[in-house]
Structure 1
Amino acid sequence: MRPQWNEGRQVNPLTKVAHWLGRHPRSMKLAPVIIPVDRVLHRVSRGRLSLVGLAGMPSLRLVTTGRRTGLARASDLVYTPYGDDYVVIGSGWGRPAHPAWTANLTADPHATIIVRGRTLPVVARRVDDAAERAEIWALAVRNWPGYEMERRIAGGREFRFFVLTTA
């Protein structure tokens, strides 16, 4: 496969494959494989490598405080750059319930992210404003088209959006 170029930057050819998979509901069956492999790669490489990242998607590890246990809880997520901030969307692969990390961030907005091998403290802001949600959704879908399919699969559940700002 020859690499593509976009605005002078090399584009990962696997990104097209990931975007194609993200538009097909059958690809959701890959979640039980992708999630644990991504978790191991992220842990072993100390945040420098992830399966999602290999496909050219920006990814991070979000470490929240469990709202019930008080223990650290890690989730590997796709993010969308938003200026100097990071946007994460609680799509949960289209499952009917909100992912636990979204409730943890709602209870305690202070968290840590590990992105490209760097550990950064962040403060989360939940996005509820309709205009900002629309702006973020457009950016996020351009970044990960699979969000549209996940929204259809979720059966009307409104995803929680968070902007993570470095503290």
Structure 2
Amino acid sequence: MGWYTNVIRLLGHRPWFATVGRTLMPLDRWLQRRTGGRVNILGKSALPTLLLTTTGRRSGQPRTVPLIYAHDGDSFVVTASNWGQQHHPAWSANLIASGDAVVSLPGGRDVPVRAALAEGAERDRVWPLVTKVWPAYDTYVVRSGRDIRVFVLSPS
């Protein structure tokens, strides 16, 4: 891991960094789509990111969000941290309503996935995978005052 990634990982614990990240999410989504996932707002491959497209539970429309992920075998592990805010992000409710989604990976590869909410021992097993990639998730738990949802996205 390079110095740049280490700096980004340290800054991730700062409240102002989360505010900036939330503000720049539309730009990040656009940039990742435009470059086939090769570049995001943090720069080229600073952290493993994907685009998750869910179906809006009320609108029925596709909703896409950029997320940091960890690998668990062939599956992807993502957190519904919402940058440490007190409420869950809408995309996590969409996954609970319908576990079908699409993951877009760098290089433009789309993978249909089935999401499972990790709970209990499964959550305990995969949580260290995501905090190894983005240690600020532990800070987000404290800041949010809630259990952060964790999903395992398995290719379908």
Deviation of residue 53 (structure 1)? 5.8
Q: How many residues are treated as equivalent by the alignment?
A: 155
Alignment correspondent of 2:27: 37
Which runs of 5 or more structure 2 residues have no equivalent in the other structure?
none
Q: Determine the C-alpha separation between the residues in 1 that align with 2:97 and 2:5.
A: 34
**What amino acid does structure 2 have at the position aligned with 1:161?**
V
1:153 aligned partner: 143
CA distance in 1, matches of 2:17, 2:45: 15
Q: Does 1:73 align with 2:73?
A: no
User: CA, structure 1 residues 110+138, in 2 after alignment: closer, same or farther (shift >3 Å)?
Assistant: same
Match of residue 106 from structure 1: 96
Question: Structure 1 residue 24 and structure 2 residue 14: aligned?
Answer: yes
C-alpha RMSD over aligned residues: 1.5
Structure 2 match to 1:164 = 153
Q: Quick one: structure 1 residues 64 and 53, their matched pair in 2 at CA, closer, same or farther if it must change by over 3 Å? A: farther
Distance 1:140 1:32, change over 3 A: closer
Q: How far apart, in 2, do the equivalents of 1:35 and 1:139 lie?
A: 23
Percentage of identical aligned residues: 39
TM-score (norm 2): 0.92
Off by >3 Å, runs of 4+ in structure 1: none
Aligned to 1:6: none
Unmatched 5+ stretches in structure 1: 1-10
Instruction: Pick the aligned partner of 1:92 from 82, 90, 108.
Output: 82
Q: CA deviation at 1:140?
A: 1.2
